Amino acid sequence: MSFKLPYGTGVLELEMEAAVLDGNPAKARRSTPQHSVIKSAMSNPTGTKRLRDLCVAGARKVVIVVDDHTRTTPTELMLDGIMEELRDAGVKTTDIKILVACGTHEPPAEGELKRILGKYYNLYRGGELEVEPHDCDAAENLVRLGETSRGTPVLINKSYVDADLRILTGDITLHYYAGFGGGRKSIIPGIAGRESIKKNHALLVDERATTANLEGNPVHLDMCEFASFAPPHFTLNVVADADGALVDAYAGELNAVFERGVAAARKIFEKHVSGNFDALVVSAGGFPKDRNLYQASKAIEHCYRAVKPGGKLILVAKCDEGVGNEHFEKWMEFDETELERAIRENFVLGGHKAFYLRRAMRRVGISIVSELDAHRLEGWGISAYSSLEEALKEEVKEGDKVGVVRRGMDVLLVPSAR
């Protein structure tokens, strides 16, 4: 069999007998205009009234939370649906604030903000629409509402808490320790204080804090409890396939929207496989998904559980920008026990990726075909190769059950037997 694996902006070819483990083709409503998909969701909300009917008299402080520049959410399209409902209810644009859910990220640059807002950027520049990038360290812009049962301080953006009408937007996709993105994640980490985010994310050391798992997942459960201190009045979330094509949209009450979106996302991204493999060859999916190891390592997390204990996973990721995160690089020098202690005592974003990679290495041998420094990788216990042919020759034995994943960032392998 012949395969072409995405690698940077090109491909690597290989010839071998292997099972193809690509994601499920999404039944996206491509024949339906995207704005119609959003409009249908807005017209038929779950668990609450239509947005226009929630705009009661006196509700003139409206906050709409949107994803930041690190995501590809179709924010402009979602704002179209929301703004139409607000206009029908008589809400003025000058009474609306767009709150960018930056979490711990830096605020978006002007060009990034323009991409996020689309046509609404001109209203912002003209002074008609207010935009506030959330700052997790701005104590004066945070309100403390209490503490979750897991000890997470509830620090939330003041503009959001004080609003008469709170609206969330976002996309629902796989997330490696919250289970799924979307829903409550717009509040934490999106518009929470740094202290809150660090405390919540430190819960990821629990074995149940894994991709696509919500059952008993302490990160997810803590996020839900956190959000309940100041729940949104209305939520609009979308689900897109691996190519970014809109599959569906869901509107209404936060938890009802999240539940419906997760069900749709599972059908797209989860790939159930029979048994376990002796070896997996996994491409992160090419540029920009394999621009650095920090990003590309997510493909390992998505796939390694389908490899037999002691088996091999070969990651194909160009990584021409290097490791990509100084905390990730530094924390890879720790063993798993040291990493768990560091995360519990002083969680730092970036270090968590090292924890997940070390956990995968406990089960399987990891090899990487890339442009990364071989000495550094080998110092971490990872086999380094500059060519796929060399990696296959060294890591795959005759008679091995082999699987090939062409877009490891966009599929979660779920083995029927562990």
Q: What is the pTM of this model?
A: 0.88
Domains of the chain: 2-23+274-415 (3.90.226.30), 34-269 (3.40.50.11440)
* Gap between the Cα atoms of 409 and 288, Å rounded: 11
* Gap between the Cα atoms of 17 and 64, Å rounded: 51
If you search the block for the tokens 């063993």, which residue do you land on?
335
Summarize pLDDT for 62-102 with one digit per residue, the tens: 999 999 987 888 999 999 999 999 999 999 999 999 999 99
The pLDDT of residue 33 is: 85
| Residue 149 neighbours by CB distance under 10 Å | 8
Q: Tell me the helices (H) and strands (E) count for the chain, helix number first.
A: 15, 20
Summarize pLDDT for 110-169 with one digit per residue, the tens: 999 999 999 999 999 999 999 999 999 999 999 999 999 999 999 999 999 999 999 999
- φ, ψ for residue 241, nearest 5 deg: -85, -175
The pLDDT of residue 418 is: 47
Assess whether pLDDT exceeds 90 at residue 372: yes
Assess whether pLDDT exceeds 90 at residue 417: no
